[in-house]
Each structure stands twice: as structure tokens, then as C-alpha cells.
């Protein structure tokens, strides 16, 4: 039975979806204003493996991933580059999709844009206003965290930490229109040349957090089995999603299992544009196949931060070659090796332990090379089934 680490309880828990045999997953997607880097690839390859493994385990998976296509970052970049914000978004969304295809990341069931959920965004905000979870001030609508008693339950940060992080991650705790520095924007007045939507509470554009709450609600319902994203989204983004969604639906918990991927470091620091230490996927594509990059990423445990090392990426190429040779080795007669599949499942069931699973794949490849006849084909079949479940092309 699958056990996954829930960032909410901070424990490995038995996975039991809300509906039997059906799983709903939402993963926060990209903001299309720049090129995708290895940190993005790590998150989406990991969730791709999770989705593939759930399907392999017999679940019907509804996987929704969004594109944050209207947001401060895009509008700022569009202004600097003197481009149309929509065209800029479409351009980078296309680049992102091409990178994901290269990495053999399966398209989500629903790949949705925030601007496509404007009706739901407005409906939620109106209800939050009606229920006094939100207030209007200075032409903006804010979520009133004092009305939601569990704000902070996911991150468990102190108020002091939350204020500091909010400032670091695009919030504005000093905004004089707020009752509380941690209140966050649901709807804001559009500046000159910014896109604007007509709403009963004022013409403007949505805040970042409400977009995800609305898309989850529209495509997956009031509650969702798994919600994921990079670890840096825990606060304020996911914390605020919980506050909005639970206040809107009165159903709790909004998310049954929260899953977060760790950060990849480069030169000892988190990859970031400002530090200039980003490893871009399109650069790696010049030298490595999608399988090489996938192997490298999966040889790292999803919850553990790691330092980017090109040596390991080169080693991944060699390991893949060994597996490829084993798969292409001459075939014998058909057999069945259930025990190896059981080992694979036990490793994956343990919170998707992909580094251990890849070690097992290598052992299996070595077995194929050493074995002849009936056993060989059985090992090969297992190897083929395991590697395709992990999303390798070969």
C-alpha cells in the first residue's frame, strides 16, 4: 500500500483517496514570463512519476496543473520588455510545454490558465465578502486572516516568520490598506495598461493565491486528494489557498495530502534568477536526452534538497546505457517474475523512493545481462514495465 509523506502532518501516511480508486491531484504550475530551469523540471518530473505510478496501481487519475497567466511577474516583465502580456505568456507557455515533452512528462488531464477561471475567481471572492472573510479597502479586496482561525496550520511558521517570508515572496506586509500585515490580496485595482476584468466589487485583476483556489474548485471540486508544488510555495501560497478554499466551501481539509518537492541548489544556494545560478532545461537539452535528465533528477529523493552536479548527470547517461543494452539484449521465451515487480512496488510505495528504485533498476539490468533463456525475457519484461512506469522512453 502506498504511503506518502504529508507536509501537513509531517508524517508518512497511508494513501487513501476521498473516492475509492479515483485520485484528484493539483500541482501549481508555471508562471510564463521566463525560461524553465532544472528546479521546475524536478517538480514536474516527480509529479509525473507519481501520476504514472498511481495509474499503474489501478487508480483513475485526474491531474490538473495550471498556468499562472496573469500575475505581477508577467505584467512587470511585459512592461520592461515592452511586450503584450498575453503574447509573452503564450510564448513561455509553449516553451515550457516543449521542455516537458522533451522530458516525457505526460500532459495533465487539465492544463488550465488562470484567465480561463475568471468566473469562478469572482464567485469565490464575492462569497468570501458575503461571509466576512474578505474586505474592501483602498480599491482592493483582501482576505482577512483574523477571520480564519487556522492561518499558518500548514507552514506552522510564527507570525514574525510569516511576515518576513511574505515580504520576500511578493506580498506587501506594509500595505497601509490592510488591517493585518498578513492579509493578502484577492482582487486588486489594475494599473494603467494592465489587464482588467469587470466584477461587482470593482474592475481589476485577481491575486495569485485565489487563482489556484478557483482552478482547484472548478476542475477538481471542493476537496482534493493531493496538492503539490515546490517547497517554497508552502508559504504564503498554499497557506493562503487553504484559508480561501476552506472559508469558501466550509469543507475541511481542503487537501488530504500535501506534497512538496525540495529545492535544487547551485553553488550552495537556491537557484534563482537574481543570483544568476539557474540551470536551464533548454541548455541541458543540447547535451542530454530527456531520459538522462529524468534519471538524474529521480536519482535524488524528492524531499531532500541537493546540489546540482554535472558529474552525476554524466553518470546517469552511463547508467541508462546499461539499462538500454539490457532491454535490447536477445530475447528468450516468455516467463513471469512477480517477485521483482513486488520489490519495485515496495520501493515506490514507500513515499516514492525513486533513488532506491533506480538502484533496483540497475540491478535488474545487470541480471538481464547475466541471464540466458527463459529467465532473461522475464527479467526484461519486468525491466521494461518498471522503466516505462518511471517514464523512461528508451
Largest Cα separation within the chain, whole Å, is 77
> Given the rule CB under 5 A, which of 21-29, 192-200, 268-276, 369-377 is the region that contacts Zn ion?
21-29
Residue 212 interacts with Zn ion (CB under 5 A)?
yes
Least distance to Zn ion from the beta carbon of 379, Å?
A: 42
* Nearer CB in complex with Zn ion: 66/299: 66
Least distance to Zn ion from the beta carbon of 163, Å?
A: 21
Residue 214 interacts with Zn ion (CB under 5 A)?
no
In the range 22-81, which residues lie near Zn ion by CB under 5 A?
A: 28
Spatial CA neighbour of 386 closest among 42, 21, 53: 53
* Nearer CB in complex with Zn ion: 28/61: 28
Distance of CA 189 to the CA centre of its chain: 29
Give 186's Cβ-side CA count (13 Å radius).
32
Residue 145 interacts with Zn ion (CB under 5 A)?
no
> Given the rule CB under 5 A, which of 119-127, 205-213, 325-333, 371-379 is the region that contacts Zn ion?
205-213
Least distance to Zn ion from the beta carbon of 213, Å?
A: 8
Least distance to Zn ion from the beta carbon of 47, Å?
A: 13
Least distance to Zn ion from the beta carbon of 317, Å?
A: 34
Query: Is-contact 63 27, C-beta < 8 A?
Result: yes
Residues, the chain: 394
* Nearer CB in complex with Zn ion: 28/278: 28
* Nearer CB in complex with Zn ion: 244/354: 244
* Nearer CB in complex with Zn ion: 152/290: 152
Least distance to Zn ion from the beta carbon of 369, Å?
A: 45
Write the DSSP string, 124-149.
HHHHHHHTTSEEEETTEEEE-GGGST
- Integer Cα distance of 283 and 293 in angstroms: 12
Query: How many residues line the site for Zn ion (CB under 5 A)?
Result: 2
Spatial CA neighbour of 44 closest among 261, 227, 217, 278: 261
- Integer Cα distance of 372 and 293 in angstroms: 31
Query: Is-contact 28 66, C-beta < 8 A?
Result: yes
Question: Binding residues for Zn ion, per CB under 5 A?
Answer: 28, 212
Amino acid at each position: 500500500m502506498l504511503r506518502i509523506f504529508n507536509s501537513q502532518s509531517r508524517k508518512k501516511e497511508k494513501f487513501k483517496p476521498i473516492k475509492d480508486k479515483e485520485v484528484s491531484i493539483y500541482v501549481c504550475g508555471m508562471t510564463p514570463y521566463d525560461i524553465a530551469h532544472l528546479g521546475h523540471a524536478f517538480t514536474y518530473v516527480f509529479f509525473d512519476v507519481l501520476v504514472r505510478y498511481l495509474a499503474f496501481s489501478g487508480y483513475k487519475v485526474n491531474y490538473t496543473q495550471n498556468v499562472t497567466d496573469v500575475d505581477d511577474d508577467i505584467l512587470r516583465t511585459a512592461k520592461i520588455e515592452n511586450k503584450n502580456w498575453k503574447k509573452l505568456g503564450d510564448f513561455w507557455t509553449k516553451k515550457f510545454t516543449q521542455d516537458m515533452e522533451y522530458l516525457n512528462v505526460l500532459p495533465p488531464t487539465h492544463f488550465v490558465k488562470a484567465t480561463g477561471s475568471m468566473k469562478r475567481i469572482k464567485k469565490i471572492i464575492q462569497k468570501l465578502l458575503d461571509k466576512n472573510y474578505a474586505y474592501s479597502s483602498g480599491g482592493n479586496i483582501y482576505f482577512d486572516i483574523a477571520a480564519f482561525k487556522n492561518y499558518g496550520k500548514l507552514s506552522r511558521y510564527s507570525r514574525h516568520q510569516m511576515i518576513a517570508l511574505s515580504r520576500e515572496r511578493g506580498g506587501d506586509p506594509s500595505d497601509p490598506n490592510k488591517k493585518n500585515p498578513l492579509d493578502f490580496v484577492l482582487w486588486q485595482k489594475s494599473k494603467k495598461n494592465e489587464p482588467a476584468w469587470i466584477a461587482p466589487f470593482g474592475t481589476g485583476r485577481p491575486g495569485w493565491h485565489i487563482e489556484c483556489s478557483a482552478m482547484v474548485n472548478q476542475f477538481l471540486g471542493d476537496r482534493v486528494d493531493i496538492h503539490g508544488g515546490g517547497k517554497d510555495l508552502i508559504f504564503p501560497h498554499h497557506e493562503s489557498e487553504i484559508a480561501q478554499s476552506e472559508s469558501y466551501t466550509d469543507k475541511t481539509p481542503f487537501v488530504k495530502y500535501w506534497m512538496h518537492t525540495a529545492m535544487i541548489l547551485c553553488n550552495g544556494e537556491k537557484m534563482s534568477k537574481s543570483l544568476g545560478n539557474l540551470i536551464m532545461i533548454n541548455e541541458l537539452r543540447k547535451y542530454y536526452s530527456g531520459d538522462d535528465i529524468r534519471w538524474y533528477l529521480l536519482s535524488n529523493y524528492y524531499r531532500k534538497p541537493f546540489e546540482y552536479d554535472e558529474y552525476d548527470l554524466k553518470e546517469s547517461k552511463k547508467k541508462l546505457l546499461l539499462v538500454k543494452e539490457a532491454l535490447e539484449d536477445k530475447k528468450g521465451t516468455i516467463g513471469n517474475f512477480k517477485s521483482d515487480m513486488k520489490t519495485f512496488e515496495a520501493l515506490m510505495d514507500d513515499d516514492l523512493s525513486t533513488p532506491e528504485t533506480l538502484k533496483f533498476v540497475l540491478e535488474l539490468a545487470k541480471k538481464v545481462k547475466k541471464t540466458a533463456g527463459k529467465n532473461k525475457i522475464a527479467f526484461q519484461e519486468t525491466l521494461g514495465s518498471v522503466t516505462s512506469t518511471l517514464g523512461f522512453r528508451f
